[in-house]
Structure 1
Amino acid sequence: MNFEKCFEVESFFSILPLDWQESILPFWDDYKASTECFVLKEEDDIIAGGLVFSECPPDMLYAKQQADFWFDTGYKYLGFIYVLESKRGQNLGSLWLNSLKDTYMHGKFWLTIEDINLHHFYVKNGFRYVKTLDHGEQEEGLYIYPN
C-alpha cells in the first residue's frame, strides 16, 4: 500500500461515485491550482484518496463565510475522501488520514460530513465535532483536526 500525491487527478476522480464526479469535475479548472490530491495505491491501482483544498471548494459555497473563517485561521479543507467499496473495512480511511497528517506535520484540517454514521470514524481519527451546518434539506457536521 502506497500513499502518494496524485498528479493525474482525473485518475482519482474516475473511482468516485458519479454524483461526486458531477460536483467537482465542472469546477476542477478553477480549483486545481489551490488543491492537492493524495491517494492510496495497491500496486498501480488507486483504491482510496481525497482532496486537500486551500480555498472554498464548490461543495461548500453554501457556507462560504464559515469556510473562509477556517481557511483564515490556517485550516485546510478535506473533501471528496473516498475508499472503494470493495476495500472498505480495512482501515484504509484511517491509513489515508494518518498518512496525510504525517505529510502535513503541523497541519490543521476541517471537513464536513452528511452521513452521521461517519461521526465515530472521524472522532476516532482525532477530529472534533464543532457544529452543524444547514444546507437546505441536508445538514452537515463540521469537524476540525487537531481537536
Structure 2
Amino acid sequence: MLLDLHSKPILPPDRSVLSELDWGEVAALWNGNQLGQLHDWLNARWSRLIRNSPLGARDPEAELLQALAFATLALFFTQNQNQSGALLLLDDAMLALGKYRPSYMGIRIEPIYGTLQDLRPMLVGLAPDADCPMVPFVYPKFETLRAAP
C-alpha cells in the first residue's frame, strides 16, 4: 500500500455551525423529553464543528456541545433502565459542563449541572437495569439567556 504523503491544506473550522445553532430547537427537544433526538441533533453539529477545526474536540464550543450530548444521553439512559450507562455519561457531562458554569454561549448551564449533581447519588449502587430512581422524572427546562437590548 502506498501512502499519500503530500501535505493537504487544513481547512478553517466550520464556524457556520455555531451561527446556525437554534437553541430554541434544543429547548423544544429537551423540554419535550425527546432526548434521543436531541442527542442526535447535538452530535451532528459537534461532528461538523470538529471536522476541520485545528483544535478538534478541544474546541470550547465543540466541548460544550459534546457535554450537552452526554447530559442528554445520561437523562435518556436513566429513564430507559440503563443506569450504568447513565452514571458513566453523567460523570463525563459534569466534568465538562463544570467548566462552563453558570452560563456559556447563551445557555444557562447551572440548572443542567444541578440536575446531574442531584441525580448522581441516586444512581450509585443501582442495578444496571434498574428503573429510573426518580418518579416522576422531572428536570429543569432548557433555558437561554436573553440578549441585552
Could you say whether these structures have the same fold, taking a TM-score greater than 0.5 normalized by the shorter chain as the test? no
Q: Write 1 or 2 for the structure with the bigger share of helix.
A: 2
Q: Write 1 or 2 for the structure with the bigger share of strand.
A: 1
| RCO higher in structure (CA 8 A, sep ≥6) | 2
- Using the size of structure 2 for normalisation, the TM-score is 0.26
